[in-house]
Amino acid sequence: MLRRISLRNRLFLILAILILSTLAGGSVMMWHTYQMDSLLKGIIDRDLAALQAAEGLKNALVNQKGFVSYYFLDGDAEWLKKLGEYRQLFNERIKEARRLARTATDKTTVDQIEAEYSEYIGQKDKVISLYKAGKHEPGTKLHKNVRSHFFKVLELCETYKDVHSKRISLASVRTHNQAKRLRVIAGTAIWSVILLCALLAFVLVSQILNPLRRLALHGDGAAKTLESGDEVKAVSRRFHGLIEDVDQTKINLERSQEHLLQSGKLALVGRLSAGMAHSIRNPLTSVKMRLFSMGRTLDLSETQKEDFDVISEEIRHIDNIVQNFLEFSRPPKLKLQKVSPSNVVDMALQLLRHRLESYGADVKLDRQRRLPEIVADPEQLKEVLVNLLVNACEAMGGSGRIVISEQGGIIEPLGRVVVIKVSDNGPGIPEAIQDKLFEPFFSTKEEGTGLGLSIAARIVEEHGGWLNLKSKEGKGATFTITLPSKEKKSWVQS
């Protein structure tokens, strides 16, 4: 139902509901002020009850004044009986006044009234005793002194009454003023909300809806969306389209930056390796030949022979570094032929047999059947495997276990593929450096060139596949070579 209403009409509907809700809320607030006024009047009734108690105290006291004089004149004991009744009434009024006392001042006043009254009736009882004993003259004299206590109690009762009278008047004025202020606030709030709603409607139309409509009309396919009156949906579609374009542009830009960076590195290494080839490799070749001749002709002691072997090994290490630079800058062209990756694995293991034994590595080949033939360069693939196996041995640092597993299957988008996994139980590779491991010149070894894994990844990519790493620190590492298989025949049984 609401979808059939245009966005503009929906906004106006919401504004109308807002105004009605505000009016209803203001009306309720005004009604509440009247209710509060009524409630406060009920609270005032407590002071009124206290006032009435004070008035009752005064009346009960005044009515006690003449009974003793009447008894003195005619000796009728009925007057003393009535005096006792009014004394009882005064005590009840005192109890009620104490119950209604709210402040410490009220309680103090009631205590003073009660104390002064106790003194008054004590003296009064003495006067009655003198009259009953026939001692009229002392009784009359004491009776005159008792009057001062009477007027003191009367004055205290009047003071207590005035306090509650003023309190009632003050509460009434405050309640009326508060209710008046609340009604003014409620009325002001209602008109303020109405004005704000009108302003909001103007802003929505002039500064939001109309610009949104103009913006939506410039979007592709927005005219169809605007037929339903929903400018926001049209702009949203256009905005999402722009975001997708920006994301795609960003991806392309990052790829271009990577290619430019790689090209710069390749150009730098190309120039460096060309100079090294002329300046270093030829002298190295001459040095290696002379060392070979000297090693055959010289009669060396054990210590000299050991030093001679170390020199020869270091020169071979320098030659390997130069060779890596040359291969990275000017990679040899692939010599493609049909070959089973299983054969390449066997060649790599045969080549490294003595080196693996020197490291004390336990190598296990997990092969259920030989992998089918693919179109590849066996020498280049062998170099990849040799690099991975040597890295595994160096990572384990000594005795360890290496598992080479061969699998086949279908992985999109390559389709049918062959997979070779090289796993070790070494220390693993920290997650923070895994993304950098295949970058040129990044190495975790002190004497490494940082080109071995970069060359291996490039060789696999030139074959149309990819080289992946999966590792957790402390739990070894697994390098996975995935290569496309053009053959659709079943695997050859080993």
Q: Is the peptide bond before 427 cis (omega within 30 degrees of 0)?
A: no
CA dist., res. 224 & res. 244, Å (int)? 21
> Looking up tokens 């009156």, which residue turns up?
229
Encode burial over 416-448: b for 16+ CB neighbours within 10 A, e otherwise.
ebbbbbbbbbbbbbeeeeeeebbbbebbeeeeb
Which pLDDT value is given to residue 27? 76
Tell whether the model's pLDDT for residue 396 goes beyond 50: yes
For residues 311 and 353, membership in a common domain is answered with: no
CATH of the domain at 86: 1.20.120.1730
Of 313, 330, 314, residue with least CA distance to 277 = 330
In 3D, which of 163, 144, 129 has the Cα closest to residue 57? 163
Establish if 492 belongs to a structural domain: no
The alpha carbon torsion through 29, 31, 35, 38 (nearest 10 deg) reads 120
Instruction: Specify if 426 maps to a domain.
Output: yes
Report the half-sphere exposure of 412 (CA within 13 A, side-chain side): 0
| Judgement on whether residues 367 and 450 belong to the same structural domain of the protein | yes
Of 137-141, 281-285, 323-327, 433-437, which gets the smallest average pLDDT? 323-327
Instruction: Give the SS3 label for residue 402.
Output: strand
Task: Looking at the structure, tell me whether residues 401 and 423 fall in a common domain.
Answer: yes
Query: 87-91, 291-295, 299-303 — which is least confidently predicted?
Result: 291-295
Q: Which residue has the higher pLDDT, 300 or 442?
A: 300
DSSP state of 101: -
**Average pLDDT score over residue span 81-94:** 82
Q: Among 397, 411, 400, 415, which Cα is nearest to 468's?
A: 411
Whether 494 maps to a domain, the answer reads no
DSSP H helical segments within 360-414, as ranges? 378-396
Decide if 194 is inside a domain.
yes
**Distance (Å, whole) CA 176 – CA 39:** 12
Q: Final residue of a domain: which of 153, 181, 208?
A: 208
Same domain for 348 and 302, yes or no, is no
Q: CA-to-CA distance for 98 and 134, rounded, in angstroms? A: 39
Does residue 288 sit in the same domain as residue 434? no
One-letter amino acid at 440 equals P
**317 and 405 share one domain:** no
CA distances from 341 to 74, 332, 478, 483 (A): 145, 20, 18, 9
Query: Do 387 and 439 fall within a single domain?
Result: yes
Residue range 188-203, pLDDT digits in tens: 777 877 877 787 777 7
Q: Which residues contact 104 (CB under 8 A, 6 or more apart)?
A: none
Per the domain annotation, does 238 fall within a domain?
no
Position 7 in a domain:
yes
Domain match, 257 and 397 both: no
Which value, to the nearest 10 degrees, does the dihedral of the CA atoms of residues 45, 47, 51, 52 take? 30
Which residues 6+ apart lie within 8 Å of 117 measured at CB?
61, 90, 94, 153
User: CA-based diameter of the chain, in Å?
Assistant: 168
pLDDT of 490 strictly over 50 = no
Count of domains observed in the chain = 3
Domain that holds residue 144: 2-208
CATH at residue 382: 3.30.565.10
Do 59 and 181 belong to one domain? yes
The answer on 204 and 91 residing in a single domain is yes
> What is the spatial distance between Cα 292 and Cα 295, in angstroms, rounded to a whole number?
5
Q: Is the pTM of this model over 0.95?
A: no
Residues 271 and 413 in one domain: no
Structure confidence at residue 493 (pLDDT): 37
What is the rounded average pLDDT of the residues 125-144?
77
Instruction: Name the DSSP class of 76.
Output: -
Residue 134 in any domain: the answer is yes
Residue ending a domain, among 158, 193, 208, is: 208
Residue where one domain finishes, among candidates 208, 230, 265: 208
Do 156 and 50 have their domain in common?
yes
Cα separations in angstroms, 178 against 26, 28, 42, 48, 374: 16, 16, 16, 20, 95
- In this structure, what is the dihedral angle of CA atoms 19, 22, 24, 26, given to the nearest 10 degrees? -140
**Per the domain annotation, does 392 fall within a domain?**
yes
The top-scoring range by mean pLDDT among 61-65, 237-241, 287-291, 400-404 is 400-404
**H or E element at residue 429:** none
The backbone torsions φ and ψ at residue 131, rounded to the nearest 5 degrees and listed phi first, read -65, -40
